[in-house]
Amino acid sequence: MSKQIGKRLRRREVVKELLQNRGDSLVVSGLGAPTWDTTNAGDHELNFPLWGAMGGAAMVGLGLALAQPKKNVLVITGDGEMLMGLGALATIAVQAPRNLSIVVLDNERYGETGQQETHTGHGVDLAGMAKAAGIAHTLMVRTPAELSRLKKRMYAGEGAVFAQVKIDSEKLPLVLPPRDGSLLKNRFRAALLGPDAAHQ
């Protein structure tokens, strides 16, 4: 169970908790800290950590969820990254994939570039926007009990799920996955699709 600093959940504990017993879930992480948090929970061949493509994490998750409807697909990204691709909320709501969850780790900061404030620190409610777009299950998560509810919801296969998790804006040491995009892609496909993936 995640501890809180003051009132805020801690990002590394949140991600560890959500990915514990992930089974054969497929994970896409947004660039910057969410990729470090996801790798901190364990480098995994069924992770596709993004190093760039800001604003694209949720859409990578959608393409994957549509291609693999029997697998749980989990996108872990940040508030700045999600803000750059808000249209994806509308696109995902229309497709309504039951196996896709998007978790936004919201520290209200652009942490990689000097902790500048994002819109979410000024009242922009991403979960509210996702709900208004029509995403089936939307949650605002601030406490360990709410985090447990999110975890149950994420693995229930009754999505789509969108969660905005308010976290502390602590700066932490980076935990880096491999950087070679081709390697990340190929190891993911081999683990998911088997050796024939290299001959598609």
Partner 1 sequence: MKKSAESAWPDEVHALLKSAGVRQVAIVPDAGHARLIKLCEKDKSMRVVRLTTEEEGVALLAGAWLGGEKGVLLMQSSGVGNCVNMLTLSIACQFPLLMLVTMRGDHGEFNPAQIPMGNATQAVFEAMGVIVKRADSADEVTEMVSSTMRLAFNTYRPVALLIGQRVSGAKDFRKLTRSVPQ
Q: Could you say whether residue 34 binds partner 1 (CB under 8 A)?
A: no
* Stretch near partner 1 under the rule CB under 8 A, chosen from 82-90, 137-145, 151-159, 161-169: 82-90
How many whole angstroms separate alpha carbon 171 and alpha carbon 45?
A: 26
What are the C-alpha distances in Å from 30 to residues 41, 66, 130, 196?
15, 19, 18, 28
Pick the closer one to partner 1 by CB: 122 or 199: 199
Strand bridging mode 116-117 / 109-110: antiparallel
Pick the closer one to partner 1 by CB: 68 or 143: 68
Token pair 């959940």 is found at 9
Applying CB under 8 A, among 95, 96, 119, 170 the residue interacting with partner 1 is 95
Applying CB under 8 A, among 5, 20, 91, 156 the residue interacting with partner 1 is 91
> What is the contact mask toward partner 1 in residues 121 to 140, using x (rule: CB under 8 A)?
--------------------
* Stretch near partner 1 under the rule CB under 8 A, chosen from 48-56, 107-115, 148-156, 166-174: 48-56
Helix (H) or strand (E) holding 34, with range, is helix 33-40
Q: How far is the CB of 187 from partner 1 (least distance, A)?
A: 11
Pick the closer one to partner 1 by CB: 14 or 184: 184
What are the structure tokens assigned to 173, written together? 């040491």
Q: Could you say whether residue 66 binds partner 1 (CB under 8 A)?
A: yes
Q: How far is the CB of 160 from partner 1 (least distance, A)?
A: 14
How many whole angstroms separate alpha carbon 35 and alpha carbon 174?
A: 9
Instruction: Print burial letters for 21-44: b (CB count within 10 Å at least 16), e (below 16).
Output: ebeebbbbbbbbbbbbbbbbbeeb
Q: How far is the CB of 181 from partner 1 (least distance, A)?
A: 3
How many whole angstroms separate alpha carbon 173 and alpha carbon 126?
A: 27
Applying CB under 8 A, among 24, 42, 45, 94 the residue interacting with partner 1 is 94
Helix (H) or strand (E) holding 138, with range, is strand 137-141
Q: Please tell me whether residue 106 adopts helix, strand or coil conformation.
A: strand
| Residues in contact with partner 1 by the rule CB under 8 A | 26, 28, 48, 50-57, 59-68, 71, 85, 87-88, 90-91, 94-95, 181-182, 184-185, 188-189, 192-193, 197, 200
